[in-house]
């Protein structure tokens, strides 16, 4: 029985190997030079990619279901509250209202901006209570949604996923860290704003949304290398 043997593979000749190495080196130099030139000539900043935001299915102030997948592709600003709260809830919710009113100052290109306020008191915050809270701050139910979920889900979403601390005092009130969290269209957390005081922080968050908008509009083609370099070198505001 005859066994056919494959023809021997011709080894790469030294001069061809040198040409390949030179070509690869030249390409790397061009890419590096392009990244450096863009970064130097067009200085850019990026928001950090902190971690993935949690997935969820919520009930909003109209009784409808809203999921994390429904929000995919939009930039979303989250905050957290409960229906009976006055202080310190009003601080981040008032900031959210100001940002929602001024969001036209920011260019996100074709990306939609959404706002979501999550209640960590599902026992009391049915759709009617959420609707009353939403009306107080001018939330329209589409651009800005008030929502909640079952108690065990709320703890996983807010406490574990968004890493925002809250605790039921047992008297109808909660202790918690007033917080706003910015998430991009890929579901990645890009900003965390945890209130140590009741100071209005709308200007800083709007500036950060603007930085994210620049990345969304410009990080395509060759420019994507510059933005990845900015992430690599931690070019954060």
Q: How confident is residue 43, by pLDDT bands cut at 50, 70 and 90?
A: confident
pLDDT tens readout for residues 174-206: 999 889 999 999 999 999 998 654 456 899 999
Encode pLDDT of 158-179 as tens digits.
Answer: 999 999 999 999 998 999 988 9
Q: How far apart are CA 211 and CA 235, in angstroms?
A: 11
- Band the pLDDT of 30: cuts 50, 70, 90: very low
- Residue 91: the pLDDT is 77
Inter-axis angle of helices 223-232 and 14-41, nearest 10: 80
Q: Which domains does the chain have, with CATH numbers?
A: 51-232 (3.40.30.10)
Q: Confirm if 37 and 29 have CB atoms less than 8 A apart.
A: no
Helix, strand, coil share (%) of the chain residues, nearest 5: 40, 20, 40
pLDDT at 2 over 70: no
Report the DSSP beta bridge partners of residue 60: 147
Q: Is the pTM of this model over 0.75?
A: yes
What CA–CA distances, in Å, run from 146 to 22, 43, 66? 59, 38, 10
* Eight-state DSSP code of residue 167: E
Structure tokens at 138: 């001018």
Tell me how far apart the alpha carbons of residues 220 and 120 are, in angstroms, rounded to a whole number.
39
The yes-or-no verdict on residue 137 having pLDDT over 50 is yes
How confident is the model at residue 5, as a pLDDT? 53
How many of the other CB atoms lie within 10 Å of CB of 35? 20
Residue 31 has pLDDT above 80, yes or no: no
């Amino acid at each position: 029985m005859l066994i056919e043997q494959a023809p021997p593979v011709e080894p790469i000749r030294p001069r061809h190997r040198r040409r390949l190495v030179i070509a690869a080196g030249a390409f790397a130099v061009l890419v590096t030079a392009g990244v450096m030139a863009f970064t130097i000539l067009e200085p850019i900043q990026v928001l950090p990619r902190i971690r993935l935001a949690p997935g969820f299915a919520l009930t909003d102030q109209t009784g409808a279901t809203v999921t994390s997948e429904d929000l995919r592709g939009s930039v979303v600003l989250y905050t957290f509250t409960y229906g009976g709260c006055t202080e310190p809830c009003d601080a981040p919710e008032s900031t959210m209202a100001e940002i929602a009113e001024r969001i036209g100052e920011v260019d996100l290109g074709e990306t939609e901006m959404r706002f979501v306020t999550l209640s960590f008191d599902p026992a009391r915050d049915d759709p009617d209570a959420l609707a009353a809270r939403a009306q107080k701050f001018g939330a329209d139910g589409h651009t800005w949604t008030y929502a909640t979920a079952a108690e065990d889900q709320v703890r996983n979403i807010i406490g574990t996923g968004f890493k925002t601390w809250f605790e039921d005092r047992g008297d109808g009130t909660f202790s918690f860290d007033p917080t706003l969290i910015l998430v991009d269209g890929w579901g990645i957390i890009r900003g965390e704003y945890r209130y140590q005081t009741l100071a209005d922080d709308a200007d800083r968050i709007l500036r950060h949304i603007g930085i994210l908008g620049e990345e969304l509009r410009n990080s395509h083609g060759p420019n994507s290398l510059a933005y990845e370099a900015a992430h690599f070198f931690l070019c954060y505001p």
